[in-house]
Amino acid sequence: MNAQIFFEFAINVLSMGSLYALIALGLVFVFGICKLINFAYGEFITVGAYVLYFLGVFTSLPWPLVFLIGILSSVAVGYLSELVAFRPFRGRSLDALLVTSFAVSVILQRLFQLGISPRSKAVPVPAFFNMNIELFGLTTPLRNLLIIAITVVLLLILTVIMKYTVLGVAMRGASENFVTARLMGVPANLVISVAFIISGFLAGVVAIFWTARTGSAEPLMGMSPLLIGFIAVVIGGMHSLPGAVVGGYVYALIANILSLTLPTSLLSFRDAVMFAIVIAFLVLKPEGLLRGNYQEERVG
Amino acid sequence: MKSKSTFTVKALCKSFSGLKAVDDVSLRLETGEILGLIGPNGSGKTTLINIMTGMLPKDSGQVTIDEHDISEMPAYKVPSYGLVRTYQTIRLFKNLSCLENAVIGAIGVGIKRREATRLAAELLEELGLGYKMDLPAQGLTFRDQRLLEIARALAAKPKFLLLDEPAAGLNEEETDELLALLKPMPENKNVGIIIVDHDMRLIMSLCNRLHVLNYGKTIAEGLPEDVRKNPEVVKAYLGSAAS
């Protein structure tokens, strides 16, 4: 492997992995606290994508503002879905919450189909996203470097929040043992709301870079990032935040290795191979690469 | 000037599908006192504690700290009114450091971060866990985990502290250390302690007063030396434990 191929490979893995890490992290933030596998998470991303589409096509707002509003709308959907759909079922069975998340997901998808269009809409992407950058003798679009940089910054910020703020310590306590944290005086509503808000925030950031890659928004677009998130989480471990990040990068690493090594005739089976690896993980290492501290108790 | 508070339980009742787990129990405790809550297995001690701390809803009765009825409150508000507990089965945040565990106790009642950290560190030093401050709680010995639970509870600056079998699983020597640690606590921390334990040696030498339950009912209360001679208590324990 010569240097250029290696750098190209590294950039691909890191940029893809960064995006996947953010996706997985958004899932795990909610799972950690509520033990809820949130199937509506993909739709948090879709909402962000549609807002980018509307603002990008029908307004001439500057890009930073467009991105900010896009992210905020994903945050709003995350927060509101918790308030309207999940909170009334808190304390019910996990199955009830799971079905609720399906319902939220389907309702949002149908709303997009009926209210916007069942067809995909082209989301404008800022020109600088696709500007080619020369690095180590290879060219890569700026967005690949941006997502890496932004992920690093976000991970640092989240680490600081989780480690050094009152809210973060309370959230880590609550994600380990919700009942005990609550009995120590940690307010349940606040901690759960914040988890959904962070989840929505990550979904909003993902929406920006996802649409930058695909160039479109459509009602069912949330499915693929959701699936990616699940796979990353299975690989990395459902019960720890670092696990989700590791899972995202490992997923990207495996996917890129497969792309490079599989013979052309088998390339279309890349996803099948990927799923086989996931099944292997579920069978051989169901707790994922990083095992968080999992305790059975749950309040959602 | 130390402020005095009063913890009262009035005519508390709780049934589980017809079975009276707590039957018209009343008790009273002031800050600075240690009250022993004892009784044979299944006598309703744990149910009583769970109702007091808001984990279980009551059927009727009152649990008050000064003028506040805490049995009407959601569980997470109870610590703010001055009642915190430890658990028979240890419930620490195992992946968090000892310091962070204690910090959660403090921030749960709204103490600001800086003060919470200072208080938590101070309590860990006091309980002899100072040098383990940054270690995750799961690496601690059983004894240290029990102590950390007490530190975490104290970090909430409680008026009343509920210790649910703090000596369970400790050997005799460790129980003596615990005794030495708890004995001056009501005075030093201006806290009232309710302690549930089966270790009669600990209970007898620690408590100012005892409250004895059997089948959910109060069968005796008063000074330890009087209670141990009470025929009903002796009968409930088959004369074995209190002798």
The residue of A33, A163, A166 whose CB has the most chain B CBs within 10 angstroms, and thus the best one to mutate to test that interface, is A166
Burial-class residue B32 by CB neighbours within 10 Å (0-12, 13-18, 19+).
Answer: middle
Domain C-terminal end among B104, B120, B155: B155
Q: Which domain holds residue A151?
A: 21-133+146-221
Q: Is residue A237 domain-resident?
A: no
Q: How far B50 CA sits from the closest chain A CA (Å)?
A: 11
Q: How much of chain A is helix, strand and coil, in % rounded to 5?
A: 75, 5, 20
**Residue B124 confidence class, pLDDT cut points 50, 70, 90:** very high
State whether B197 and B131 are in the same domain: no
* SS3 call for B21: strand
Q: Tell me: the pLDDT tens digits for A198-215?
A: 999 999 999 999 999 999
What stretches of A148-290 adopt beta strand conformation (E)? 216-217
pLDDT-above-90 percentage for chain B: 61
Residue A260 lies in a domain: no
CB nearest B76 (choices: A166, A173, A185)? A185
Contact residues, chain A, for B117 at CB < 8 Å: none
d(CA A181, CA A170): 7
d(CA B120, CA B140): 17
Q: How far is CA A25 from the centre of its chain?
A: 6
**Helices within chain B (DSSP H only):** 45-52, 98-107, 113-126, 142-154, 172-182, 185-189, 200-206, 224-229, 231-236
Band (pLDDT 50/70/90 cuts) for residue A131 is: confident
In-domain check, residue A250: no
Cβ pairs A/B, distance under 8 A: 78
Task: Write the CATH number for B195.
Answer: 3.40.50.300
Alpha helices for B37-191 (secondary structure H)? 45-52, 98-107, 113-126, 142-154, 172-182, 185-189
Residue A11 domain-assigned (yes or no):
no
Angle at which helix A166-176 crosses helix A188-214, to 10 degrees, equals 90
Position B240 scores a pLDDT of 52
B99 and B108 Cβ atoms separated by less than 8 Å: no
Same-domain check for residues B151 and B175: no
Whether residue B164 is found in the same domain as residue B243: yes
Structural domain count, chain A: 1
Q: Which domain holds residue B164?
A: 33-73+159-243
Asked if the structure places residue B86 within a domain, the reply is: no
User: Would residue B175 count as lying in a domain?
Assistant: yes
pLDDT category at A300 given cuts 50, 70, 90 is very low
The predicted model scores a pTM of: 0.84
Q: Looking at the structure, do residues B132 and B174 belong to the same domain, yes or no? A: no
pLDDT grade for B1, boundaries at 50, 70 and 90: low
Q: Which helix (H) or strand (E) holds B38?
A: strand B34-38
| B80, B88, B91: best to mutate for the A interface, most A CBs within 10 A | B91
Q: Distance between CA A113 and CA A104 in Å, rounded?
A: 14
Please give the average per-residue pLDDT across A137-153, as a whole number: 91
Task: Flag whether A200 is in a domain.
Answer: yes
| Residue A288 within a domain | no
Pairwise CA distance, residues B97 & B143, whole Å: 16
Per DSSP, the three-state class of A77 is helix
Please tell me whether residues B44 and B149 are part of one structural domain: no
Q: Residue B123 — pLDDT band, cuts 50, 70, 90?
A: very high
Assess if residue A4 is contained within a domain: no
Given B140, B155, B170, which residue is the final one in a domain? B155
Domain match, B69 and B163 both: yes
For residue A273, give how far its alpha carbon lies from the nearest alpha carbon of chain B (Å): 35
Inside any domain, residue B102:
yes
- Percent of chain A scored above 90 by pLDDT? 58
Residues B241 and B166 placed together within one structural domain of the fold: yes
Residue ending a domain, among B105, B135, B155, is B155
Look at residue B169 and tell me if it is in a domain. Answer: yes
**B52/B171 same-domain check:** yes
Residue at B207 is within a domain: yes
Please report whether residue A211 resides in a domain: yes
Overall number of domains in chain B: 2
